[in-house]
Structure 1
Amino acid sequence: MDILSSAFGEFQLSRFPRRRKDQLRAWDAADEYILQHLSENEAINEHSKVLIVNDQFGALAVSLNQFHPESISDSWLAHAGTKENQTDNQISQEDITLHTSLNYPKQIFDIVLIKVPKSLAMLEDQLIRLKPLLTRESTIIAGAMTKAIHTSTLKLFEKIIGPTKTSLAKKKARLIFPTIDESLNITDSPYPSTYKLEGTQYQISNHAAVFSRDSLDIGTRFFLQYLPATDKYETIVDLGCGNGVVGLVAAEKNPKAVINFVDESFMAVDSAKINFIHAFGPERTAIFTPTDCLQGLAKNSFDLVLNNPPFHQQNVVGDFIAQQMFHESYAVLKKGGELWVIGNRHLGYHISLKKIFGNCITVASNKKFIILRATK
Structure 2
Amino acid sequence: MNQLITSWGAYDLTRFPEDPRDPLRAWSAADAYLLRHLAGETEPAGETEPAAETGEAAKSVDLSGAVVVVGDRWGALTTALAEHRPTLITDSFLAREATRANVARAGVAPDAVRLSTTDDAPPSRIDVLLVRVPKSLALLEDQLHRLAPALHAGTVVVGTGMVTEIHTSTLDLFERIIGPTRTSLARQKARLIFSTPDPERDAGPSPWPRSYVLDADSGAGSGLTAVNHAGVFCADRLDIGTRFFLRHLPTGRGAAGGGPHIVDLGCGNGVLGTAAAVADPEATVTFIDESYPAVVSAEATFRANAAASTRAEFVAGDALSAVPAGSVDLVLNNPPFHSHQATSGATAWRMFAGARAALRPGGELWVVGNRHLQYHVKLRKLFGNSQVVASDPKFVVLKAVKRDR
Q: Please give the range of the TM-score, normalised by the shorter of the 2 chains.
A: over 0.9
Task: Name the CA distance, whole Å, in 2 between partners of 1:326 and 1:375.
Answer: 11
Which letter maps to 1:225?
A: R
8 Å CA contact retained: 2:6, 2:36: yes
Which letter maps to 2:252?
A: T
Question: Who is 2:186 aligned against?
Answer: 169
- Post-superposition shift, 1:238? 0.2
- Post-superposition shift, 1:250? 1.0
User: Which of 198, 203, 218 is the matching residue for 2:240?
Assistant: 218
- Post-superposition shift, 1:283? 2.8
Question: Who is 1:344 aligned against?
Answer: 370
Question: Who is 1:330 aligned against?
Answer: 356
Question: Who is 2:168 aligned against?
Answer: 151
Question: Who is 1:301 aligned against?
Answer: 327
* Identity of matched residues, %: 46
Task: Name the CA distance, whole Å, in 2 between partners of 1:3 and 1:126.
Answer: 29
Q: How does 1:353-364 map to 2 (within 5 A)?
A: 353-364=379-390
Q: How does 1:234-249 map to 2 (within 5 A)?
A: 234-249=260-275
Task: Name the CA distance, whole Å, in 2 between partners of 1:211 and 1:285.
Answer: 25
8 Å CA contact retained: 2:254, 2:261: no
- Post-superposition shift, 1:231? 5.4
8 Å CA contact retained: 1:116, 1:144: yes
- Post-superposition shift, 1:369? 0.4
8 Å CA contact retained: 1:231, 1:254: no
Question: Who is 1:60 aligned against?
Answer: 77
Task: Name the CA distance, whole Å, in 1 between partners of 2:65 and 2:384.
Answer: 57
Task: Name the CA distance, whole Å, in 2 between partners of 1:375 and 1:93.
Answer: 42
Question: Who is 1:365 aligned against?
Answer: 391
8 Å CA contact retained: 2:253, 2:329: no
User: Which of 170, 174, 179 is the matching residue for 2:196?
Assistant: 179
More displaced stretch, 51-60 vs 194-203: 194-203
- Classify the secondary structure of the residue corresponding to 1:4: strand
Q: How does 1:54-203 map to 2 (within 5 A)?
A: 54-199=71-216, 200-203=222-225
Task: Name the CA distance, whole Å, in 2 between partners of 1:306 and 1:231.
Answer: 12
Show structure 1 runs of 5+ residues with no match: none
Which letter maps to 2:246?
A: L
Task: Name the CA distance, whole Å, in 2 between partners of 1:3 and 1:38.
Answer: 19
Task: Name the CA distance, whole Å, in 2 between partners of 1:64 and 1:364.
Answer: 51
- Classify the secondary structure of the residue corresponding to 2:20: coil
Question: Who is 2:301 aligned against?
Answer: 275
Task: Name the CA distance, whole Å, in 2 between partners of 1:256 and 1:285.
Answer: 8
Task: Name the CA distance, whole Å, in 1 between partners of 2:176 and 2:253.
Answer: 53
Question: Who is 2:5 aligned against?
Answer: 5
8 Å CA contact retained: 2:93, 2:292: yes
Is 1:289 aligned to 2:311, yes or no? no
Q: What is the count of residue pairs matched by the alignment?
A: 375
Task: Name the CA distance, whole Å, in 2 between partners of 1:145 and 1:104.
Answer: 29
Question: Who is 2:228 aligned against?
Answer: 206
Q: How does 1:250-261 map to 2 (within 5 A)?
A: 250-261=276-287
Is 1:42 aligned to 2:67, yes or no? no
Question: Who is 2:252 aligned against?
Answer: 230
- Post-superposition shift, 1:281? 4.8
Task: Name the CA distance, whole Å, in 2 between partners of 1:277 and 1:90.
Answer: 43
- Classify the secondary structure of the residue corresponding to 2:10: strand
- Post-superposition shift, 1:147? 0.5
Task: Name the CA distance, whole Å, in 2 between partners of 1:232 and 1:79.
Answer: 35
8 Å CA contact retained: 2:330, 2:359: yes
8 Å CA contact retained: 1:72, 1:104: no
8 Å CA contact retained: 1:54, 1:116: yes
- Post-superposition shift, 1:315? 1.3
Which letter maps to 2:32?
A: E
Structure 1 residues 108-167: Cα deviation after superposition (integer angstroms, max 9, x where no partner): 111010000111111111110110110010000100000000111111111111111100
Task: Name the CA distance, whole Å, in 2 between partners of 1:23 and 1:257.
Answer: 41
More displaced stretch, 332-341 vs 82-91: 82-91
- Post-superposition shift, 1:228? 1.1
Which letter maps to 1:209?
A: G
Question: Who is 2:341 aligned against?
Answer: 315
Task: Name the CA distance, whole Å, in 2 between partners of 1:321 and 1:11.
Answer: 26
Structure 1 residues 157-208: Cα deviation after superposition (integer angstroms, max 9, x where no partner): 1111111110000000000001111111231111001101223442211000
Show structure 2 runs of 5+ residues with no match: 41-58, 217-221
Structure 1 residues 63-113: Cα deviation after superposition (integer angstroms, max 9, x where no partner): 000010001000000110011111211111101001111213332111010
- Classify the secondary structure of the residue corresponding to 2:101: helix
8 Å CA contact retained: 2:176, 2:203: no
Which letter maps to 2:102?
A: N
